[in-house]
Structure 1
Amino acid sequence: MTAIKTKSLQILQKATIKNTNLIYFLCLSFVFIINIIINSKESYNTWIEIIGTILQIAIPMYVLVPVIWKKDKEGTIQMLRLLLVVVGITWAFKLGLSQVFGINDMRPRGGSMSFPSGHTTGAFSGAIFLSLRYGWKYAAFTLPLAFFVGYTRIYALAHWPIDVIAAIILCSVSGFLLVKKYQKTEA
């Protein structure tokens, strides 16, 4: 156990922005390749939804890149808090709180648990965290991708626009309350 912990610490100490980004994008590429193989015969409409589904996880996972190479323990705690709050609130609404407030929870293509969009919540939790914690340059490509995820949910008739807007507002407000700007002096 101690040898594993020592090796893990050595890897983290050698982490740089270049190799951390490379590892992340290699893993993301692997996910896309697997999906291309599995879903090669799907229609364009299905692909839009598949890409949105991948990105809703990929964006918050990208948070690991600056957290690792900056060795930002406080950022890790803040992101975990943000995820717990936004996912908790999202699922509270999906599991009945929306009915308490009289919010339409039926999806455009049928089914329930529409409000708010969980995919959009996932994508925006990462994008908002990166924006607030490390500055806009780290979120320059994640915010447009997060908006794309929201678009895919509306395009696929999985959510109404209000579901996506609610998820964006939830992540933004929670982010402003829970995420503090990164300071190099933090330990």
Structure 2
Amino acid sequence: MTAMKLKSLQIIDKANVKNTNILYFICLFIVVFINIILNHKESFHTWVEIIGSIIQIAIPMYVLVPVLWKKDKGGAIQMIRLLAIILGVTWAFKLGLGQVFGINEMRPRGGSMSFPSGHTSGAFSGALFLTIRYGWKYAVYSLPLAMFVGYTRIYSMAHWPIDVIASIVLCTISSILIVKKFKQ
């Protein structure tokens, strides 16, 4: 066994609810703190978009917490598959597949690659994984946060409502097909 693989197994063996939650929230605090320093002069409108961007990464990253402390290697594989499919389909549409289907790719405030919303896809992939794999106790906070990310994309005029809805549908179908309930 390689030294790196052995070290990874030791980290998973020592993981528990307390230390993984603490590590996660320390990392999240650092990201928020850096954003406050870099963007302290921005308007409220811009901050709504920034918070949405942070949360869209924070939700799928939080998946690591229960995966580690439950020692759920199957869940880790399912999340990687889920992200690969969702991000693959999202970017396939952004990079040209949308034009094949005649989907408007112009953003409300200008620019291209509107359909579907990548931020919403990222947030809902994590939220739906947590909900399906580990139960509704995770949905209480993850699904409203994912919905907030979708809202920020529309509020900031980065996406049309159909872009956000398409991302939610993509994540829901993919999650139902890929994610299985955790059994200890």
Return the offset for 1:183. Answer: 0.6
Question: Residue 101 of structure 1 corresponds to which residue in structure 2?
Answer: 101
Question: Residue 162 of structure 1 corresponds to which residue in structure 2?
Answer: 162
| Secondary structure in 1 matching 2:181 | coil
What is the total number of aligned residue pairs between the two structures?
184
Which sections of structure 2, spanning at least 5 residues, go unmatched? none
Return the offset for 1:138. Answer: 1.9
Question: Residue 35 of structure 1 corresponds to which residue in structure 2?
Answer: 35
Measure the CA separation in 2 of the matches of 1:139 and 1:19. 22
- Equivalent position amino acid for 1:22 in 2: I
Question: Residue 49 of structure 2 corresponds to which residue in structure 1?
Answer: 49
Return the offset for 1:3. Answer: 4.4
Return the offset for 1:2. Answer: 4.3
| Secondary structure in 2 matching 1:106 | coil
- Equivalent position amino acid for 1:178 in 2: I
Return the offset for 1:85. Answer: 0.6
Tell me the C-alpha RMSD between the 2 structures: 1.2
Structure 1 segment 51-90 matched on structure 2, within 5 A = 51-90=51-90
Which 4+ stretches in 1 moved above 6 angstroms?
A: none
| Secondary structure in 1 matching 2:146 | helix
Return the offset for 1:4. Answer: 4.4
Asked if 1:171 is matched to 2:171, the reply is yes
Question: Residue 117 of structure 2 corresponds to which residue in structure 1?
Answer: 117
Question: Residue 23 of structure 1 corresponds to which residue in structure 2?
Answer: 23
Structure 1 length-normalised TM: 0.95
Question: Residue 138 of structure 1 corresponds to which residue in structure 2?
Answer: 138
Measure the CA separation in 1 of the matches of 2:96 and 2:107. 15
C-alpha distance 2-102 of structure 1, shift in aligned 2 (>3 A)? closer
| Secondary structure in 2 matching 1:140 | helix
Measure the CA separation in 1 of the matches of 2:17 and 2:98. 42
Q: Percent identity?
A: 72
Give deviations 1:32-75, integer Å, cap 9, x for gaps.
Answer: 00100111111100100001111111110000000000111110
Return the offset for 1:133. Answer: 0.5
| Secondary structure in 1 matching 2:42 | coil
Measure the CA separation in 2 of the matches of 1:107 and 1:3. 48
Give deviations 1:134-161, integer Å, cap 9, x for gaps.
Answer: 1111232111110000000000000000
